[in-house]
Amino acid sequence: MSREDYSKAKEMLHNIHDDIRKHYFDKRYQGVDLDARFEAAEKKIETAPSMNYALADIAGAVSALNDSHTFFIPPPRPYKHSYGWEMQAIGNSDCFVTAVRPSSDAEKKGLKPGDQVLSVNGYAAIREDMWKIQYVFNILRPQPGLRLVVRSRDGTTRQIDAMASMHATERVKYLDYWTFAQEARDAERLHRTQHVEYGNDAIIWKLPNFVFQTDEAKKMLDQIRSRKALILDLRGNPGGSVDFLAYFLGGMFDHEVKIADRVRRNGTKPQLTKSRGDKTFNGKLVVLVDSESGSASEIFARVVQLEKRGMVVGDISSGKVMESEIYPHSIGRMAITFYSASITEADLIMGDGKSLEHVGVVPDVRVIPTVDDLVAGRDPALAHAAGLVGLKITPEEAGKLFPIQWPDDEPNRRK
């Protein structure tokens, strides 16, 4: 850490502190002594042995609010990384490997879907701490590899050091068009909606997020509304735009519906759907959620429940339900460092008078995959949802409808 590094870290800390004081929805900061937390973080930064530690001190000060949508976004790293495997909380507490990328180091080391993850780099892998693991190792401090302790289906416990695939991104400054194009294709593929049609009887629509424009929502709803039934798959959907939520959810009702009361620092205001009138989808509706469904996707599912518009199937959602804004910053003139903060600007109180933050949506029908389902690639939740609308789909068939799409592992290699 140079003197300049210490100065940069403190400037970041002060700016994030100011962002929270100006914009956080609760002027009492959830009972946290915010000034004291940031003063303590500044003292830690003064003795930080590296910039990584200093950034962790900033993140720690922000995390004291225990708010899913308020967090520090550190400067981007000069590389892309992929761990080559995914895990998810399933059921009340345990976490399991749900996918392993072919030819990844994790696969070569023997990691398999259905392995129960006991710890990741020393962090206990339990549902309550999943957000910490995801934040630390995907945003705050991506690692060249992760040390996993896993339990196999036969009960054997073993340690696996799974190395990540890492690729430098310095080439971007040379305007390598191929790299830009490849990254754009990856982003588009992961963002794209997917659907399977069963004539006019039903459509299964997988929505990866709520980051779409209103005109895109219109196109989706126009394709959906003539069907007799819709299975909306929001599993893994982290949320997104408030406007898209209001319009897309409004397409399920022939009248205006209150989504939630938005509690801000300057008062409370109801948020309403935007009805499509005679263009409403009036068929059967089943919504799928899981532990990775967050924010707007949770609100969508809960409104469907409260208004008795349809059924919610799957696992308890993540309980990350606030409304936030990103506040970007930069340091330097010649060598510019970018960083930002996500700040919660509104709590959302549902029609039953309760917040979903740290609670989540409890499905009407809870269908959780077993270890054998994960190993075999079966999807019992989607199969059950299909049965509710009159479709006959086996868990094996359901598991093949929406296969995982991995980003390009070697973005700088032309094929």
Q: From first to last of its 415 residues, what are the pLDDT tens digits of the chain?
A: 899 999 999 999 999 999 999 999 999 999 999 999 999 999 999 999 999 999 999 999 999 999 999 999 999 887 778 899 999 999 988 999 999 999 999 999 999 999 999 999 999 999 999 989 999 999 998 999 999 999 999 999 999 999 998 877 554 343 344 444 445 445 555 678 999 999 999 999 999 999 999 899 999 999 999 999 999 999 999 999 999 999 999 999 999 999 999 999 999 999 999 888 889 999 999 999 999 999 999 999 999 999 999 999 999 999 999 999 999 999 877 778 899 999 999 999 999 999 999 999 999 999 999 999 999 999 999 999 999 999 999 999 999 999 988 876 544 443 3
**3-state SS class at 264:** strand
By the 8 A CB rule, do 69 and 320 touch?
yes
Strands of 131-257 (E only): list them.
Answer: 145-151, 157-163, 165-168, 194-198, 202-206, 229-233
C-alpha 118/C-alpha 122 separation (Å) is 9
C-alpha 364/C-alpha 294 separation (Å) is 17
Tokens of 52: 């990584």
Segments in 24-103 forming alpha helices (H): 34-46, 51-63
**3-state SS class at 362:** coil
Supply the Cα-derived Rg of the chain in whole angstroms. Answer: 22
Q: Tokens 């790299």 belong to which residue?
A: 179
| Contacts of 109 by beta carbon, 8 Å cutoff, 6+ apart | 160, 161, 162
